[in-house]
């Protein structure tokens, strides 16, 4: 009986991953087919400014709902999860207003620090796109909890299609970096409108009051108190690569790096992220039901290792030639970067879906200290490239340190998971 039940759960897991993977496959196909077009419409400099803008957005999105959106998968009662969703959306709204006021008052100062008047103009769009992106992220966790993966998949396809259509249109009209940024803004806002329409009935069916909102905020306070600092440090440090490349070198170098990174992480969007989203829900459910979780992690690692090995070997030895042929001569530098960066993205591809196990096990404290270490060494690696007069030296050191950190993180993950599983068996 237990074996039959496990088979049903396993088949449901595969089905859920397939639904998400199908949607992200379509997104990947759209992105992959249009990338050679976009790489000829926009220059490395355009992508450099766009990378700085999206890096700021990434940092804000982590802050957006103070990590409460992650707590939606924890409670057994739907009403409690719905209150967490509402709390997350209110926090995103409040912080977006604060961001707008800050950019309104200090826009010139930010432009002066960056050395780009164009960035100063585009900062006015940061608050609205953050409001949309942060809200979409909260809704995504809500639908993940409720296993409505078809809607998650559908909004990804919709967002990618709108973004691509606007990017190509504005690229032909010579909007340069503005075309990439405006497309991002429009696609996120339209995606939010789409999700709000789909979510209206869920909101009407859930009661709400301030005391209940305060209650869930206090109950899951470890997410902002322990989860947020680590996640923020991690996000700031990974995006600091963009800021430091822009500051120490040029927008062209920044654009080449960000374009290479974007292309190399496309498989993560297709396979790794889809598995990770479903696995997070499954691990949370298994842990709540006092079931073994390490077997799920090990199976995921084996599958992703085999899936990513051949692409890794191809890129390591032919990255520059592939980028030059597919995207054009001006992306030769991005191809050189990809030959080293692919090693890091390979380990990320394998590791990122299972990292949620640390959240399930409530190991946010370790995640904070791990993120603090990352926050220190990432800028130092890039500074080494600047000091040595060759940004590629910084990229190589950055990749080496990142791989070491991923291996250490997963060593701790395995240890804590096995301790948890032994406690369940006993």
Ranges 96-100, 113-117, 351-355, 387-391, most confident: 96-100
377/158 Cα distance (integer angstroms)? 38
* Chain CA centroid to CA 353, Å: 11
When pLDDT is averaged across residues 318-322 and rounded to a whole number, the result is 93
What confidence category does residue 180 fall into, taking pLDDT thresholds of 50, 70 and 90?
A: very high
Percent share of the chain, pLDDT over 90: 36
177-191, 262-276, 336-350 — which is least confidently predicted?
262-276
Q: Tens digits of per-residue pLDDT, 79-110? A: 888 889 999 999 999 999 999 999 988 877 77
83/6 Cα distance (integer angstroms)? 31
Report the 3 state secondary structure along 224-282: HHHHHHHHHHHHHHHHHHHHHHHHHCCHHHHHHHHHHHHHHCHHHHHHHHHHHHHHHHH
Shortest CA distance to 357 belongs to which of 307, 306, 402, 411?
A: 411
What confidence category does residue 425 fall into, taking pLDDT thresholds of 50, 70 and 90?
A: low
**Which residues, 6 or more positions from 261, have their beta carbon under 8 angstroms from its beta carbon?**
341, 345
Shortest CA distance to 386 belongs to which of 214, 266, 254?
A: 254
190/250 Cα distance (integer angstroms)? 33
Q: Is 105 exposed, middle or buried (0-12, 13-18, 19+ CB in 10 A)?
A: exposed
Q: Which pLDDT score is estimated for 360?
A: 78
pTM: 0.76
Helices 251-264/294-327 angle, 10° precision: 130
When pLDDT is averaged across residues 269-287 and rounded to a whole number, the result is 72
When pLDDT is averaged across residues 63-78 and rounded to a whole number, the result is 86
102/96 Cα distance (integer angstroms)? 10
When pLDDT is averaged across residues 335-360 and rounded to a whole number, the result is 89
């Amino acid at each position: 009986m237990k074996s039959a039940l496990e088979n049903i759960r396993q088949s449901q897991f595969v089905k859920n991953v397939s639904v998400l993977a199908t949607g992200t496959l379509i997104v990947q196909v759209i992105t992959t087919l249009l990338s050679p077009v976009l790489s000829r419409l926009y220059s490395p400099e355009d992508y450099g400014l766009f990378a700085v803008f999206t890096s700021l957005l990434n940092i804000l999105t982590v802050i957006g709902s103070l990590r409460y959106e992650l707590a939606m998968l924890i409670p057994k009662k739907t009403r409690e999860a719905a209150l967490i969703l509402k709390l997350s959306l209110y926090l995103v709204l409040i912080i977006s207003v604060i961001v707008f006021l800050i950019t309104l008052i200090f826009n010139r100062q930010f432009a002066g620090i960056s050395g780009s008047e164009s960035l100063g103009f585009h900062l006015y769009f940061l608050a609205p796109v953050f409001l949309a992106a942060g809200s979409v992220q909260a809704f995504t966790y809500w639908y993940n909890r409720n296993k409505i993966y078809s809607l998650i998949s559908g909004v990804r396809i919709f967002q990618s299609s709108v973004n691509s259509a606007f990017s190509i249109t504005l690229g032909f009209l010579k909007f340069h970096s503005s075309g990439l940024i405006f497309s991002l803004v429009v696609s996120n806002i339209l995606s939010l409108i789409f999700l709000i329409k789909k979510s209206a009935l869920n909101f009407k069916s859930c009661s709400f009051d301030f005391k209940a909102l305060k209650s869930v905020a206090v109950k899951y306070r470890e997410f902002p108190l322990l989860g947020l600092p680590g996640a923020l440090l991690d996000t700031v440090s990974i995006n600091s690569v963009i800021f430091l490349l822009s500051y120490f070198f040029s927008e062209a170098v920044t654009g080449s790096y960000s374009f290479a990174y974007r292309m190399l992480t496309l498989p993560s969007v297709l396979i790794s992220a889809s598995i990770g989203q479903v696995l997070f829900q499954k691990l949370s459910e298994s842990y709540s039901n006092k079931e073994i979780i390490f077997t799920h992690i090990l199976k995921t690692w084996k599958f992703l290792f085999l899936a990513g090995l051949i692409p890794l070997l191809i890129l390591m030895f032919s990255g520059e030639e592939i980028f030059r042929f597919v995207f054009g001569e001006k992306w030769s530098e991005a191809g050189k970067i990809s030959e080293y960066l692919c090693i890091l993205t390979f380990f990320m591809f394998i590791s990122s879906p299972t990292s949620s196990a640390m959240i399930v096990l409530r190991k946010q404290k370790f995640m904070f200290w791990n993120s603090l270490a990352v926050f220190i060494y990432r800028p130092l690696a890039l500074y080494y490239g600047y000091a040595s007069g060759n940004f590629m030296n910084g990229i190589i050191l950055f990749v080496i340190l990142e791989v070491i950190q991923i291996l250490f993180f997963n060593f701790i993950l395995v240890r804590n998971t096995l301790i948890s599983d032994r406690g369940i068996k006993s």
